[in-house]
Amino acid sequence: MWGINDPSIYLGYLLAVLSLLLCVWYGAKNWNNGRETDEQEIREDEAWELKDEQLKEQL
């Protein structure tokens, strides 16, 4: 069938397609995870950025 004599080639193609589907599913499931939602973390990041800008101005 399709000029492929070894059945293990089909296994390779099948695993590649399954890997693709798994990666798409994982990416869709975790699309917005890991975002900072805690207000304390956001304030700490803003303070760090302000301090970083001040240090750059001093140089």
Report which residue type is found at 14. L
42 found inside a domain: no
10 found inside a domain: yes
45 found inside a domain: no
Domain count for the chain = 1
Structure-block tokens of residue 5: 């004599």
11 found inside a domain: yes
According to the model, what pLDDT value does residue 36 have? 60
Residue ranges making up the domain that contains 2: 1-32
Q: Which residue has tokens 């304390």?
A: 40
Render pLDDT for 9-41 as a digit per residue (tens, 0 to 9): 999 999 999 999 999 999 999 887 776 667 888
The yes-or-no verdict on residue 53 having pLDDT over 70 is yes
17 found inside a domain: yes
Alpha carbon distance 12, 4 (integer Å): 12
57 found inside a domain: no
Alpha carbon distance 13, 55 (integer Å): 54
51 found inside a domain: no
47 found inside a domain: no
Contact status, residue 39 vs residue 33, Cβ threshold 8 Å: no
